[in-house]
Amino acid sequence: MKKQRILVAYGSKHGATGGIAEEIGRTLEQDGFDAEVRPASEVQDVTGFDAVVLGSSLYAGHWQRDALRCAGRNADALAHRPVWLFSSGPVDSSAERHDIPPVPGAARTMEHLHARGHATFGGSLTSETPGWIARTMVKHGKGGDFRNPERIRAWAHEIGNELRSQGPE
């Protein structure tokens, strides 16, 4: 049987969200899907995919521009296939302790695309992260890598299970 094709697209400024997307892609591949991971800025057409996972890092309570634009230009096609969204943000353990709802912009995107689910994962801000704001935050002890591969994999497995139980649309 032909494998279902899943696109994992991400909007990222400094790479942390790309790492989460890669983990999701790897997990879906292990679960028997054909997963492709791409920066949201490069995604012009999603019609070749059976399902899409779209994620973004959070900056001042907003999704990153590339992810929002990707959602906008593909809105029609995305609304007609299974879609899940994720956000990468908190540089503390809050995402481990409780479910963090989507920021208002991501919630609107969820609604437009009829997305099936959303997860907020811990983000990453380290001394490697470029930019003076990041540097200042790290200097004041507000940094660290809070991405949790286990939680990311568990979420990707849930997506895989749901897609497998339904088969291609």
Residues of the shown chain interacting with ligand FMN in the complex, contacts defined by CB under 6 A? 12-17, 57-61, 88-91, 123-125, 133-134, 137
Closest CA to 7 of 101, 67, 83, 62: 83
Please tell me whether residue 151 adopts helix, strand or coil conformation. helix
Q: Outline where the chain has alpha helix (H).
A: 16-30, 65-73, 75-79, 94-97, 104-113, 132-139, 149-166
**Taking each helix axis from N to C terminus, what angle separates 16-30 and 149-166, rounded to the nearest 10 degrees?**
50
Name the minimum Å distance from CB 138 to ligand FMN.
Answer: 9
With respect to ligand FMN, which residue has the nearer C-beta, 119 or 163? 119
With respect to ligand FMN, which residue has the nearer C-beta, 102 or 123? 123
Name the minimum Å distance from CB 58 to ligand FMN.
Answer: 4
C-alpha dihedral sign at 107, 113, 116, 118: negative
With respect to ligand FMN, which residue has the nearer C-beta, 79 or 133? 133
Name the minimum Å distance from CB 126 to ligand FMN.
Answer: 9
Name the minimum Å distance from CB 24 to ligand FMN.
Answer: 13
Closest CA to 151 of 61, 63, 88: 88
Distance (Å, whole) CA 113 – CA 110 = 5
Alpha carbon distances (Å) from 77 to 36, 37, 57, 63, 121: 17, 18, 23, 20, 26
With respect to ligand FMN, which residue has the nearer C-beta, 114 or 139? 139
With respect to ligand FMN, which residue has the nearer C-beta, 47 or 136? 136
Name the minimum Å distance from CB 9 to ligand FMN.
Answer: 13
